[in-house]
Structure 1
Amino acid sequence: MEHTGAIGVGQLLIATQPGRGGFFDGAVVLLIEHRSEGTVGLCLNLVSTAVSDEVRAEIEQFNTAPGRVMDGGPVNLDVVVALGEPANPEAPPPGWDRVIGDVGVVDINFPRELLETSFSQLRVFVGLSCWAPGQLEGELIRGSWFRTTARTEDVFADPEGLWRQVLRRIGGATGRWSTWTEDPELN
């Protein structure tokens, strides 16, 4: 279902107009915070190439497959955020804040030795996708994003092909974007 109402936590932003370049080309962003001060999200389908080997070694071991650190966004590249699905959703661990369904933001200060047993799935992101007050609304009006409700499988999916997968799920005219190719003769 495509959203046309209010922006909210747990929604996905799916980039429109592929092939233009830039960070958000083909991006799928999960909104994790939306307040009057602005909106924060995490890009679900871009594997990070800017993480130091030391940081990578420390946090990749806790990641669910594909086991790589993700690029959460182009802002605050020193910020590390984890999304997790508790092993026991009826009794989530302390420091876990629900975003959608059984997926929530994990306190990065959570004891490392408990991460493996407290979460059935975990994905680590470096950087954020952020919008100032009113900025995301303007981008939506200009048609820069499609919006839909996120699902747990979106958060922990193989990042390759997620953009097309979500568009196909939305269906209709929006779903047709999933067939886009870089070869203009084939579009």
Structure 2
Amino acid sequence: MIEPAPGVVLISEPFLKDPNFMRTAVYLCEHSEESSFGLVMNRPFEQHLEDFIPELRGMTIPLFYGGPVQTDTLHFLHTLPDLIPDAQLVSDGVYWGGDFASIIDLIMAQRLELDQIRFYLGYSGWGTGQLAAEIAEQSWLTVQGSADLVFHDAPEDIWKLAVQQLDKSFHPIIHYPTDPQLN
């Protein structure tokens, strides 16, 4: 396992009971000793971006649940730093944020492919020492993230794909039931 840092993916252990993080993969955008900020990559939201942005009515753009913190905020990851000003590099080929008006213009002009950007409501956050403690308790496993993982065309598979990046001894957890008492 690797230490938390921007671009690292947190993989929830298979029996984590917290409904916000059950079988999730969280992409860390920021990490320091004081706090960590990440986005759940594999939890589609029941509504679409058009439900929140009136200019996009009629465009079915997927939206994801980024985490339980400030679910009234919108965040985005993308691969388009040349088209979206003020984007922040997180790791190889993955950028966070930028000028949202530029994104609306790109969408309206049909100059943006949906496999190049993901939108998230809310985020996942940890205060001083909280993430380190959760990792020590083995609530999270860690792997290096990638654009291929973040923008995978089957988000429901991201947790399993992240687990497959771990040592082979971890691979059986993919098949564990969510509730071992039901086994």
Same fold flag (TM > 0.5): yes
Q: Name the structure 2 match of 1:80.
A: 74
Confirm or deny that 1:143 pairs with 2:120. no
Confirm or deny that 1:70 pairs with 2:68. no
CA-atom RMSD, angstroms? 2.9
Confirm or deny that 1:179 pairs with 2:175. yes
C-alpha contact 1:99 1:105 (8 A) present in aligned 2: yes
SS at match of 1:170: coil
Confirm or deny that 1:166 pairs with 2:157. no
Counterpart residue type for residue 55 of structure 1: F
Paired residues, what number?
178
Q: Name the structure 2 match of 1:28.
A: 25
Counterpart residue type for residue 75 of structure 1: V
Q: What TM-score does the superposition give when structure 2 sets the normalisation length?
A: 0.83
For structure 2, list consecutive stretches of 5 or more residues without a partner in the other structure. Answer: none
Counterpart residue type for residue 173 of structure 2: W
SS at match of 2:111: helix
For structure 1, list consecutive stretches of 5 or more residues without a partner in the other structure. Answer: none
Structure 1 position 181, deviation (Å): 2.6
Residues 148-187 of structure 1: per-residue CA shift (max 9 Å, x gap): 0001111111211211121122232222211223475996
- Rounded to whole Å, the distance in 2 between the matches of 1:10 and 1:105 is 10
Structure 1 position 93, deviation (Å): 3.9
Confirm or deny that 1:125 pairs with 2:120. yes
Counterpart residue type for residue 161 of structure 1: D
Structure 1 position 21, deviation (Å): 4.7
C-alpha contact 2:50 2:59 (8 A) present in aligned 1: no
Counterpart residue type for residue 74 of structure 1: P
Structure 1 position 102, deviation (Å): 0.9
Larger mean CA deviation between 161-170 and 143-152 belongs to: 161-170
C-alpha contact 2:10 2:28 (8 A) present in aligned 1: yes
Counterpart residue type for residue 71 of structure 2: L
- Rounded to whole Å, the distance in 2 between the matches of 1:101 and 1:60 is 33
- Rounded to whole Å, the distance in 2 between the matches of 1:143 and 1:186 is 22
- Rounded to whole Å, the distance in 2 between the matches of 1:144 and 1:125 is 23
| 1:50–1:100 Cα change, 3 Å | same
C-alpha contact 1:81 1:108 (8 A) present in aligned 2: no
More strand, by proportion: 1
Residues 118-155 of structure 1: per-residue CA shift (max 9 Å, x gap): 67601000001000011000000000000000011111
Superposition misfits of 4+ residues, deviation over 4 angstroms: 50-53, 56-63, 182-187
C-alpha contact 1:167 1:176 (8 A) present in aligned 2: no
1:30-69 paired onto structure 2 within 5 Å: 30-49=27-46, 54-55=51-52, 67-69=61-63
1:92-131 paired onto structure 2 within 5 Å: 93-111=84-102, 112-115=104-107, 116-117=110-111, 121-131=116-126
